[in-house]
A and B are shown apart, each in its own frame.
Chain A
Amino acid sequence: MALVLAAFVLVALSIVWRRTLGIGQSERLATLDGKRNELEGERARLESEIRDASSRQRLGVVAESQLGMHVPSDRQVVILPRAGRRESP
């Protein structure tokens, strides 16, 4: 009878331990999930900022006012045909 009781306690403890471990892992998963979403949101924000910072609206003004650059005239643009590569219109 004592052995049966001990076995029951062991089984019960292992179930509780497994459940506790599961809950811990679950919390960790939830944390990591949140972290992943956070990083993806951050990536989207940074990419958006890169796009804005490298846009013509932003760079064009700086290039013209601070670096003295200008859009070349059509005569200054030389088109070199490259075999095997076509830009899709």
Chain B
Amino acid sequence: MKAPNRVTVVHGFFVLFALALVARAAEVQVVEGKAWVNRGKRQHYIASAAAAPRGEILDASGNTLVESRELTRVAVALPEVRDTGIVLRALRRARVDAALVHAAIERRRRWVDLPGLYSQSDIASLSKLNGVHLTPVLQRVYARSSGIRSIVGSLDGQGNPLDGLELALDATLRGDSGRVSLARDKSGRALDSPDAWTEQPRAGSTVVLTINNTLQEICERELAIAVDSLRADGGDIVVMNPHTGEILALASNRVGHTSFSNTALTEPFEPGSTLKPFVAASLLERGRARPSDMVNTHNGKLELDGRTITDMHKAAQLSLFDVIRFSSNIGIVEFGQRLTPRQKYEMFRDLGFGMPLGVPLPAESPGTLREPKEWSRQTSASILMGYEIAVTPLQLVTAYSAIANGGELLEPHLVKEVRALDGKVIYRAEPRAVRRVMSGEVARTVQGMLLAVVQEGTATKADLQTFDVAGKSGTARRTSQSAGYVAGNYTASFVGLFPGKDPQYVVLVKLDNPRGKHYAGGDIAAPVTQIVLRAALAARDAALNREDLATSEKTAIGSTAGQTSRDPTEHIDAASYDPTDNLKPRDIAEGTKSYLLDLPASHIAVPVAIAPRAVPDVRDLSVREAVHTLHAAGFRVRLGAGSASGTSPAAGTIAPPGIIVQLNRPLQ
């Protein structure tokens, strides 16, 4: 066989080389094509997460309470800066902290994150400087009202919810974040490109609250004035629509510390005489008494179970109607003996005491209502007078709403509706009756008693000139964490129904530990209620149905059945509520005994007035250890499943002990 000559070998080599090139090209184009395309895209396009704007929170009238807006975070990459002098001058002109950058240059740092967020207009001149990196950040803008802020809660620096509705409705407000790819030019700057892809973020839904902003402002202002002038430790005002269960205002005020949660839901208190109407309702409902039935009230002094019960209104005997009107402790104890301990317990339990109401706010307290087997010898009488039981202001208002609406206990609502981005309503709260707690006839009878309380009883200072107001005052001694009841410390409260017939509001005013000449609920809480009602009447939009109000004016309805009509000029007006009366230090020993029970403090251990504390961080602990830690901190624990370990309320949130903390663990 003839050996190939040199030319053939060279040709053959070129043919093989060409074939190898074609084969490699085929491999690159066909076999590895997708991988190379993806690699090219990665080099030319950057993908980044696009945060979804959180949904707005509006009040019932559509006023914005919380919204998101875009601000910019500024960072400087020092190796990329060509002329540091130009950058420093530009930062100073934009009122950005240039000193930090200056310090970083001296320390030879490569990257400096400047604190704070800036509007685009402030930093427009920085956008074209090499080495200055601007990152858009969505910021939450809240209404300045402290009450609103305690309801809606807040976010941390990373945009995670900490408390309030922001935490409770996070899934609704958060929306779905998107992803955006942008082409990069030779300098690494992002450019839009037809080849780029975008998954648009989906903004969170809009939440409409039942809160009426005007009424909320009225309540917050009057509460602040009352707390200041009475030198009280704090107070709460809650307003509810008794026909729908909508919470119209939730105002809280604590002197000396900022409460991050709304104390009207988180801090229970011993309500005192404001519970007496429910005892009367239970007696009437069970047929154990009639309004005109009389009991011996022992001329205002009764020895019972080793203690002395006294009355302000001293009488030999009183009817059930007058027991409520004059807030007779002896009378309600005497009438209450017609109920068994189990009946008393069930009455309060059916009114929603001792359990959370289910309002979508973290840290709602269930209050305290013990089973009869845990009662002491004195509890059976104490509980009738509103002691040895602790309720939150919201629980008390919800229970009074049952009297106002004809006997149905309604589920309280804080969220009126939720709207999707396109405005479509995806949730609307409807009035929901939990149970009927008294008949319509009994509710009307008790309403008549409450009208008498304001017209001729212990709370005349709540009355208005042109409208009837019904209600009940309460003055209860306060406990301290270690010393039981403290002499001179009281909770003054008043729960009002406005108008007295067919009420549109149930208003609770509670003042903690007022330090003035007056301290009884009828003297200081009732006038605050009157002022709130006057301001609401004068306001343009305070959730009042004025057509119905027009038919409720006193001139239209005449005198209340069983009551005498009074000369309007005799009414005590707002001037009778003189805050300056309360500015002088009060001699605590004087004038207190006639209003109050001389209860032995050592028997009572209702967990109220205990200092709030931070929820501990248990993210890295086992479930057992976490539960133990939370219990040790004074919280109750409910186990739940979530996307990450944590608690609700979040670690670090200041909350009162006794509330339920949900311990979340990820699903396996």
Contacts and interface: CB of A to CB of B under 8 A. Distances in A.
B46 to A, nearest CB: 14
Contacts of B26: none
A89 B145 contact: no
Contact of B546 (A23, A76, A81): A81
B217 A56 contact: yes
Interface string A14-41: 0000000011001101100011011011
B191 A30 contact: yes
B69 A44 contact: yes
A89 B191 contact: no
Main secondary structure of the interface of A (DSSP, over half): helix
Interface in A35-63: 35, 37-38, 40-42, 44-45, 47-48, 51-52, 55-57, 60
Given A37-B136, A40-B69, A44-B69, A55 B545 contact: no
A38 B127 CA distance: 13
B550 A81 contact: yes
Contact of A56 (B143, B185, B218, B241): B218
Interface in B440-497: 464-467
B141 A87 contact: no
A89 B243 contact: yes
A20 B221 CA distance: 61
Given A26-B192, A79-B549, A73 B573 contact: yes
Contacts of A23: 185, 191
Given A23-B185, A41-B120, A47-B64, A30 B574 contact: no
B97 interface: no
A45 B119 contact: yes
Contact of B543 (A38, A75, A89): A89
Interface stretch (B155-163, B294-302, B335-343, B529-537): B529-537
Given A42-B119, A51-B63, A79-B550, A74 B533 contact: yes
Interface in B127-181: 127, 136, 141, 143-145
B244 interface: yes
Contacts of B573: 73
A73 B185 CA distance: 69
B31 to A, nearest CB: 29
* Interface-central residue, B120, B190, B217, by most chain A CB under 10 Å: B120
B243 A57 contact: no
Contacts of B141: 44-45, 48
Interface in B232-273: 241, 243-244
Contacts of A87: 541, 543-546
B194 to A, nearest CB: 8
A75 B466 contact: yes
Contacts of A74: 464-467, 533-534, 537
Contacts of A37: 70, 120, 136
B190 A30 contact: yes
A19 B412 CA distance: 61
A47 B144 CA distance: 12
Interface in B532-578: 533-535, 537-538, 541, 543-547, 549-550, 553, 568, 573-574
Contact of A41 (B119, B192, B538): B119
Contacts of B220: 57
A51 B547 CA distance: 28
A55 B191 contact: no
A73 B549 CA distance: 15
Interface residues of B, number: 53
Given A23-B185, A52-B144, A89-B243, A73 B547 contact: no
A51 B221 CA distance: 16
B121 interface: yes
A26 B191 CA distance: 6
Nearest to A89: B545
* Interface-central residue, A47, A73, A86, by most chain B CB under 10 Å: A73
Nearest to B552: A79
Interface string B181-224: 00001000011111000000000000000000010011011000
A35 to B, nearest CB: 7
A89 to B, nearest CB: 5
A22 B549 CA distance: 65
* Interface-central residue, B121, B191, B550, by most chain A CB under 10 Å: B191
A77 B221 CA distance: 20
Nearest to A72: B538
B84 to A, nearest CB: 25
B70 A77 contact: no
A12 B144 CA distance: 60
Contacts of A22: 193-194
Contact of B534 (A29, A45, A72, A82): A72
B285 interface: no
A57 B534 contact: no
A51 B63 CA distance: 9
A63 to B, nearest CB: 12
Nearest to A28: B192
Interface string B43-78: 000000000000000000001100111110000000
A25 to B, nearest CB: 8
Contacts of A86: 545, 547
Contacts of A1: none
B218 A77 contact: no
Contacts of B568: 75
A75 B120 contact: no
B550 A41 contact: no
A44 B67 contact: yes
Nearest to A77: B537
A86 B547 CA distance: 7
* Interface-central residue, B214, B531, B546, by most chain A CB under 10 Å: B546
A55 B544 contact: no
Nearest first, the 7 closest Cβ-Cβ pairs linking A and B are A38-B120, A44-B69, A26-B192, A56-B217, A41-B69, A75-B465, A74-B464
16 contacts: A30-B191, A38-B70, A38-B120, A41-B69, A42-B121, A45-B119, A51-B64, A55-B144, A60-B221, A71-B531, A73-B574, A74-B537, A77-B538, A87-B546, A89-B241, A89-B244
Interface of B: 63-64, 67-71, 119-121, 127, 136, 141, 143-145, 185, 190-194, 214, 217-218, 220-221, 241, 243-244, 464-467, 504, 531, 533-535, 537-538, 541, 543-547, 549-550, 553, 568, 573-574
Given A30-B192, A89-B543, 16 more contacts: A26-B192, A35-B120, A37-B70, A38-B121, A40-B69, A45-B119, A48-B64, A52-B144, A56-B214, A71-B534, A73-B465, A73-B534, A74-B534, A75-B465, A76-B538, A81-B550
Interface of A: 22-23, 26-27, 29-30, 34-35, 37-38, 40-42, 44-45, 47-48, 51-52, 55-57, 60, 71-77, 79, 81-82, 86-89
